[in-house]
Chains A and B, each alone.
Chain A
Amino acid sequence: MSRLGQEPDVISLAEILGLVSVTDPVEAILGLCRDRIDRWVGEVGGITTIDGLEDLVARNLHMVFEEIRNDRDFDRIKDVYAVGKRDAVFATMRIKFNDSENPTYGVLIRRQNTTPEDLDRWVAVIDCRGNKLARRFFTRWHEIAHRLTTHADQDYPVYRSEHDPIERLMDEIASQIGFYEPIFGPAFDGAMQGQPKLTFEIVEAIRRSFGDASFQSTLFACHRRLRTPAVYLEASVAHKADDQRDVNQGVGWLFDDLRPVQQLRAVQVVPNQAAQDSGLFIAPNMRIPPSSIIHRLFLDESVMQSSGLDDLGEWEHSGGKRLARRDVWIQARRVKERVIAVVQPVD
């Protein structure tokens, strides 16, 4: 079971949903969501596009989307809902989404003054301005995940950061149902036909059939679906875990040369199921060796993407111990201050 499945909030949500005595609450909640969607899809005789699926699911959840693409949208939403439908809370969207200290991606609002038949009993307002646009697809499915799990029905509003267990669970649900297997599976299999490795080019090709899905969310979906071993990795400059703890606790260093140095590290490591089964392992937060293409890409700001062979035997823990020798093919891409990469064995 994942760590997320051991979080008390997640266990509690599973119980609220009637999923008691389950071995893995995350899987159980995911299964519940899939079952609901499968039922709705079955009722209409099937769905072939992800946009069609979103329409269907939103309709069944009595939910509509409103998007903020520019400042005029705040006035439009206010006119439609606050003035037209007597739901004054919609007049507060400007202050909510323009809070620069606390960037907000989306909110889900339960409307007053509705009848059970109204299709807009719930309104998800999504901020699509600036760099939030890249998260549009994911945020829409994230809000659907809230409705699917009925967590949004509770009495008190919930202000959560994206690191909160429930929000992470919603992300997990969104990443799976947004790439609904009966639609994503054939697209993935078609794109992978005859290809020995998952590449970023394949991910881009699949992404095109998923409307506005971001490269990263599509990459996660492909990585999870891949039946051969692959490790997703994010590299950025960071401290060793012990040093980071000292820094967080405000420890001071008398001499500069004793001060811990940040190095390029694998700050996020996600093996897919096949990688776990085959023992393809990279320790979270381990240093990226200078010889690795990941490190070279990080240093060369003129290059956005690179690929090549690597030997995991060159990867060394702080204590000096190295990973087992294994030839791997790595494709890496620069994303702001990080490098994201997929590591796949050559054998």
Chain B
Amino acid sequence: MQTVGERIKKRRTELGWTQDVLAEKAGISKSFLSDLENGKRSVGADKLLDIGKVLSLSLDYLMAGQEPQMDATEVQIPSSLASFAAKAGLSFRQALTLLEMQQQIVAHRSATRKGGLDKVDWQKFYEAVKEFLE
């Protein structure tokens, strides 16, 4: 059975990355990564999340070897954004950029609202950032 380190190494080599590249992207030292891949050190959940994010691997897979259920590269455009983009004549690239910007807001605490990206007022959001869109 593969270890956490072996799974990281397997994915890293699949991507053709050196340890330097992965270490920089995940915000860890190369020596730590090397020890981790060789099973000499353990890793905390926070760092493992960072590494998993960079490698597009789920924690389930990294920790237990369970294969991811979804294609990590799949992009789902919320219906509210798709509808706004069509109305405003935005390109797919522009819609994707808006989505990526929204996804930068990772925690949002308010008095009332629940729900996700479909609740975003894309018109207002677009108006605020359009001067920065290509």
Roughly how many angstroms separate A142 CA and B128 CA in the complex, as a whole number? 27
Do residues B114 and A150 form an inter-chain contact, with CB atoms below 8 A?
Answer: no
Do residues A112 and B104 form an inter-chain contact, with CB atoms below 8 A?
Answer: yes
Residues of A within 8 A of B (CB): 16-18, 62, 82, 86-89, 91-92, 94-96, 101-112, 115-116, 139, 142-143, 146, 150-162, 164, 167, 170
What does DSSP make chain B's interface, helix, strand, loop or mixed? helix
Closest to B131 in A: A91
Roughly how many angstroms separate A157 CA and B99 CA in the complex, as a whole number? 10
Closest to A143 in B: B107
Q: Which of B33-41, B44-52, B83-91 contacts its partner? A: B44-52
A96 neighbours in B (Cβ, 8 Å):
105, 108
Do residues A154 and B106 form an inter-chain contact, with CB atoms below 8 A?
Answer: yes
Roughly how many angstroms separate A105 CA and B49 CA in the complex, as a whole number? 27
B132 neighbours in A (Cβ, 8 Å):
82, 86, 88, 91
Closest to B133 in A: A88
Contact of B110 among A102, A116, A156, A157 (CB under 8 A): A102
* Cβ contacts B1-39/A at 8 Å (1 or 0 each): 000000000000000000000001111100000000000
Do residues A146 and B101 form an inter-chain contact, with CB atoms below 8 A?
Answer: no
Roughly how many angstroms separate A213 CA and B52 CA in the complex, as a whole number? 37
* Cβ contacts B114-134/A at 8 Å (1 or 0 each): 111101010011011101110
With A18-B44, A88-B129 already in contact, the answer to whether A109 and B106 are too (CB < 8 A) is yes
With A91-B132, A110-B104, A159-B119 already in contact, the answer to whether A164 and B110 are too (CB < 8 A) is no
Do residues B117 and A88 form an inter-chain contact, with CB atoms below 8 A?
Answer: no
Do residues B27 and A116 form an inter-chain contact, with CB atoms below 8 A?
Answer: yes
Contact of A160 among B101, B103, B109 (CB under 8 A): B109
B121 neighbours in A (Cβ, 8 Å):
95
Do residues B45 and A104 form an inter-chain contact, with CB atoms below 8 A?
Answer: no
Do residues A156 and B103 form an inter-chain contact, with CB atoms below 8 A?
Answer: yes
Do residues A102 and B111 form an inter-chain contact, with CB atoms below 8 A?
Answer: yes
Do residues A158 and B129 form an inter-chain contact, with CB atoms below 8 A?
Answer: no
7 nearest A-B residue pairs (beta carbon): A116-B27, A88-B132, A18-B45, A108-B107, A89-B101, A152-B106, A92-B128
